[in-house]
Amino acid sequence: MTKIIFDTDPGGDDAFALLWLQSLAKQGLLELIAVTTAEGNINSKLTFINASKVLSLGGFEQVELGRGVTVKNLQADDAAHIHGMDGMGNISNNLPAAKHDFEKAVYSDDLIIDKLNAYPGEITILAVGPLTNLAAAETKNPGILEKAKEIVIMGGAFKVPGNVTTHAEFNIYYNPEAAAKVLSSCNDTVVLPLDITEKLLFTPEMAEDIMSNSQNSLTQFISDLCGFMTEANLRYRQTKGVKGFLVHDGATIAYLFYPETLLFCRAKVEVETQGKHTLGKTFFDERFTAKTDANSWVALQVDTEGLLASLLEDIKFLCMN
Ligand code: BDR
Ligand code: CA
């Protein structure tokens, strides 16, 4: 069974993806080995607490949880304007208290190192926040990331504009050095960029569909989160006037379980770490087909309808079980 480490900064769409993962785990399709939280959408304490609450909500509070490595002198702002002051739609107080203890928790980079050493070649890392934890693990223990079966990243923007600057997407812009390190340390990362994730709109109608199927604390959370994120995505013009919640981070799960919904190209992905206007830009040289020094598979097309239909079915399953 696929063993997963979910590296995340919840984050509305992170929380949603974590629920999707829990559904697939309940269906016996994966084993959630650890969740490693990262600083990003909000500070590391809140991403940890949010992840803990979402694990409890889905019934997976026993899963090990790491606290995010913090980086001094990082200039990037968080994304509280999109995800709420608590990082999770300002509704995290409606959830049961966190079961994991932030103060006593192991750091995410150490947890990643431990697990990769314990299960070499077996673990898929789904990285849906800034890549700080993965880069820190590689710095502490060079070569460790090569022990992952696969590293699947939500991040970057190639043929579409960024969502933080014209050139850069949030997860990469937040810590470009970390992203560059991870990409240059692995030969086979999978990259799910804004090019496809900006098409993944979870609509208010889908939330209603879930609510009409079953009503409990989980469906209420999904409905409230969808409502908050829909407003935020509209306010910041991320959905071009269409109502819906952009579930970017779920694309990593689609890659693993619904690969027929994605089309990839092979490329050598690089990250701009110096540029005045282009800091955090992801790019590959399109003049050549990458044959020898490619490091990634980049998704550039998605079957939006198919992917969202599978997501909806799986979330309904979790809500009823
Ligand atoms: C990414 O940035 C974050 O705000 C989201 O959670 C997602 O991981 C999209 O650019
Ligand atoms: Ca995220």
Q: What is the mean pLDDT of residues 281-295?
A: 81
Confidence category of residue 243, pLDDT binned at 50, 70, 90? confident
Ligand 1 contact via 41 beta carbon (within 6 Å)? yes
> What is the pTM assigned to this prediction?
0.96
CATH number reported for the structural domain that contains residue 148 in this entry: 3.90.245.10
> 248 catalytic, yes or no?
yes
Task: Say which residue, 10 or 96, is predicted with more confidence.
Answer: 10
Tell me the CA–centroid distance for residue 27 and ligand 2, in Å.
24
C-alpha of residue 41 to centroid of ligand 2, in Å: 7
Provide CB contacts within 8 A for 286, sequence distance 6+.
none
Confidence of residue 76 (pLDDT cuts 50, 70, 90): confident
The answer to whether residues 197 and 162 touch, using CB atoms and an 8 Å cutoff, is no
Work out the number of other CB atoms within 10 angstroms of the CB of residue 290. 16
In this prediction, residue 72 carries a pLDDT of: 77
ipTM over 0.85? The verdict is yes
Structure confidence at residue 265 as a pLDDT band (50, 70, 90):
very high
Overall domain count for the chain: 1
As a whole number, the mean pLDDT across the chain is: 94
Range of the domain at 306: 2-320
How many Å lie between the centroid of ligand 1 and the Cα of residue 155?
8
Identify the CA nearest to 122 among candidates 25, 36, 221, 4. Answer: 4
Q: What is the pLDDT of residue 157?
A: 98
**Nearest ligand to the CA atom of 248:** 1
The Cα 110–Cα 185 span in angstroms is 18
- Nearest protein Cα to ligand 1, atom 10: 170
CB of 249 shorter than 6 A to ligand 1 = yes
Q: Does ligand 1 lie within 6 Å of residue 195's CB atom?
A: no
Choosing from 83, 100, 167, 248, the catalytic residue is 248
Residues of the chain above pLDDT 70, percent: 98
Q: What is the pLDDT of residues 113-135, one digit of tens each?
A: 999 999 999 999 999 999 999 99
**pLDDT confidence of residue 289:** 64
Mean pLDDT over 188-199 rounds to 97
Which residues neighbour 111 within 8 Å (Cβ) at sequence distance 6 or greater? 5, 34, 36, 64, 66
